[in-house]
Structure 1
Amino acid sequence: MPKPAHSAQPLVTLDGRPPCLATIEAVVTGERAVVTCRGEFDMGAQELWSELYAVLDRSATGVDLDLDEVRFCDCAGLNVLLALRREALDQGKTVTVRACSPTVARLLDLTGARELFVTEHAGSPAGSQTPGAEPVPVEEELPEPVDVDQELRLEVDQLRRAMRTRPAIDVARGIVMASFGLSAEDAWTVLVTASQNTNTKLHHLAQDLMGAVHGTPVPQEVQQQMAAAVAKVREAGPE
């Protein structure tokens, strides 16, 4: 029997703002800052803007993001990272994603935003130095000039695409939360799992669920995968 909807976690704080369920830890090494992000990157993560900008200011060439411990990320959380990237471009710096969790990877792929974060270049291969030989200094390759206009046009296009699909996805997540008494993170997991297992784009799945509210039947395969995903997250329980 489904849990009551009020068992889901609160969506806003007492002053009407969504709570910030994410944390960051920054270490400045040489010319770059490594920022390790943890928790849930949603609308509440906007509270991290000033802290992220301060880290960017302390770095000489930019920020490397470690998102491996981000358990949940939606379009609002992605916008926080994109805002950091825009600020870095204005300062002539870069933002890279050095690692990310499967949750973040799915969102980057679904929105097409992965290409907006430059890939970190690997250093020289280990073991390439002849044993006993003096270390040979490696000339650092200068990054290729960034076409800022092209980058911004691409970013605007990706943001427009994300914003067109975001409302339906957010509503669908709310439907799943209310119907099954799930947290925001578990509801997102259910949607993404059902999307992958039925080979249905996430925003198409969201539209199917919104249509069900008005009496349009959800495809049988989607119903089965949704039920299986809900059972799985309930079996896993809280972390």
Structure 2
Amino acid sequence: MPEPAHSAPCLATIEAVPAGERTVVTCRGEFDIGAQELRSELRAVLDRSATGVDLDLDEVRFCDCGGLNVLLSLRREALDQGKTVTVRAYSPVVGRLLELTGARELFVTEYSARPEVPGAVEERPQPMDVDQELRLEVDQLRRAMRTRPAIDVARGIVMASFGLSAGDAWTVLVTASQNTNTKLHELARELMGALQGAAVPEQVRQQMAAAVAKVREHGPDLQRPDRRASPSRAA
């Protein structure tokens, strides 16, 4: 039977500050499915800006695919308006998620100036041309098509092995991926290999066990991947 749907509280906040033709949006807290409540507020900020929004995610201490979808939705709306959404700073947790999902490139914009350099002139972010945008989107879709089947199988393995729900199993996979600095699809292949008798690295086994224990301890309404900051940003 499908799990009952329930609304999640919004544990994130945003603060918008105009900066010339753009608006800097500082995000704080936890960007999960509850962050859907911020969509209308973010859309209003985008509408008021002339050329787009620059996101500061350095104070986001947790972010999952639900939160990432909010940011991707804002980016799509900006493209429809001929504007851009960039990420000017992010926490290790956000950086890791952007790397795991391959979404980091979608928010990259080069700046030629830094505020601390006297006399420097900041270049306004320019939207991609249509061909480049389409190529990037296709690359992302192809990557997802290649890796998603393995990830789905790995989630099924975790569900069957530990008696967890689909949501719990996803939390365990993301937590172990973050804490072992292993790409999600690589972790999935390691778990699939275990079915054929291959050894799972000790660090992965330890982090998987810890993640399962944490999920069971907190229960279904408090499942969150480990919020401890990763020691390094995504390259």
Q: TM-score, normalised by structure 1?
A: 0.65
Whether the aligned pair in 1 keeps the contact of 2:61 and 2:91 (CA below 8 Å) is: yes
For residues 32 and 157 of structure 2, the distance between their equivalents in structure 1, rounded to whole angstroms, comes to 17
For the residue of structure 2 that corresponds to 1:146, the secondary structure is coil
Whether the aligned pair in 2 keeps the contact of 1:26 and 1:55 (CA below 8 Å) is: no
Residue 220 in structure 1 maps to residue 203 in structure 2: no
Instruction: Using the TM superposition, give the Cα deviation of residue 206 of structure 1 relative to its aligned residue in structure 2, in angstroms.
Output: 1.7
Instruction: Using the TM superposition, give the Cα deviation of residue 76 of structure 1 relative to its aligned residue in structure 2, in angstroms.
Output: 4.0
Instruction: Using the TM superposition, give the Cα deviation of residue 59 of structure 1 relative to its aligned residue in structure 2, in angstroms.
Output: 1.7
For residues 7 and 150 of structure 2, the distance between their equivalents in structure 1, rounded to whole angstroms, comes to 19
Whether the aligned pair in 1 keeps the contact of 2:16 and 2:24 (CA below 8 Å) is: yes
Instruction: Using the TM superposition, give the Cα deviation of residue 88 of structure 1 relative to its aligned residue in structure 2, in angstroms.
Output: 0.6
My pick for the range that moved more, 148-157 or 93-102, is 148-157
Q: Which residue of 2 aligns with 1:229?
A: 207
Q: Unaligned 5+ residue runs, structure 2?
A: 218-225, 228-235
For the residue of structure 1 that corresponds to 2:109, the secondary structure is coil
- 1:157–1:124: structure 2 CA closer, same or farther, 3 Å change rule? closer
Instruction: Using the TM superposition, give the Cα deviation of residue 102 of structure 1 relative to its aligned residue in structure 2, in angstroms.
Output: 1.5
Whether the aligned pair in 1 keeps the contact of 2:84 and 2:127 (CA below 8 Å) is: no
- 1:183–1:142: structure 2 CA closer, same or farther, 3 Å change rule? closer
Q: What does the per-residue CA deviation read over 1:136-162, in whole Å, with 9 as the maximum and x for residues that have no partner?
A: xx7664555630332133124314423
For residues 110 and 102 of structure 1, the distance between their equivalents in structure 2, rounded to whole angstroms, comes to 12
- 1:124–1:73: structure 2 CA closer, same or farther, 3 Å change rule? closer
Residue 24 in structure 1 maps to residue 24 in structure 2: no
My pick for the range that moved more, 157-166 or 106-115, is 157-166
Whether the aligned pair in 2 keeps the contact of 1:25 and 1:35 (CA below 8 Å) is: yes
Q: Which residue of 1 aligns with 2:222?
A: none
Whether the aligned pair in 2 keeps the contact of 1:73 and 1:103 (CA below 8 Å) is: yes
Q: Which residue of 2 aligns with 1:188?
A: 174
For residues 153 and 33 of structure 2, the distance between their equivalents in structure 1, rounded to whole angstroms, comes to 14
Q: Unaligned 5+ residue runs, structure 1?
A: 1-11, 130-137
Counterpart mapping for 1:5-154 below 5 A: 16-17=5-6, 19-30=8-19, 31-119=21-109, 121=111, 123=113, 126=116, 128=118, 141=123, 143-144=125-126, 146-154=128-136
Whether the aligned pair in 2 keeps the contact of 1:27 and 1:34 (CA below 8 Å) is: yes
User: Runs (4+) of structure 1 moved beyond 4 Å?
Assistant: 138-145, 170-178, 180-187, 230-235
For residues 122 and 130 of structure 2, the distance between their equivalents in structure 1, rounded to whole angstroms, comes to 23
Aligned length: 210
Higher RCO, 1 or 2 (CA under 8 Å, sep at least 6)?
A: 1
Q: Which residue of 2 aligns with 1:179?
A: 162
Instruction: Using the TM superposition, give the Cα deviation of residue 42 of structure 1 relative to its aligned residue in structure 2, in angstroms.
Output: 3.8
For residues 57 and 141 of structure 1, the distance between their equivalents in structure 2, rounded to whole angstroms, comes to 21
Identity %: 62
For residues 185 and 163 of structure 2, the distance between their equivalents in structure 1, rounded to whole angstroms, comes to 20
Q: TM-score, normalised by structure 2?
A: 0.66
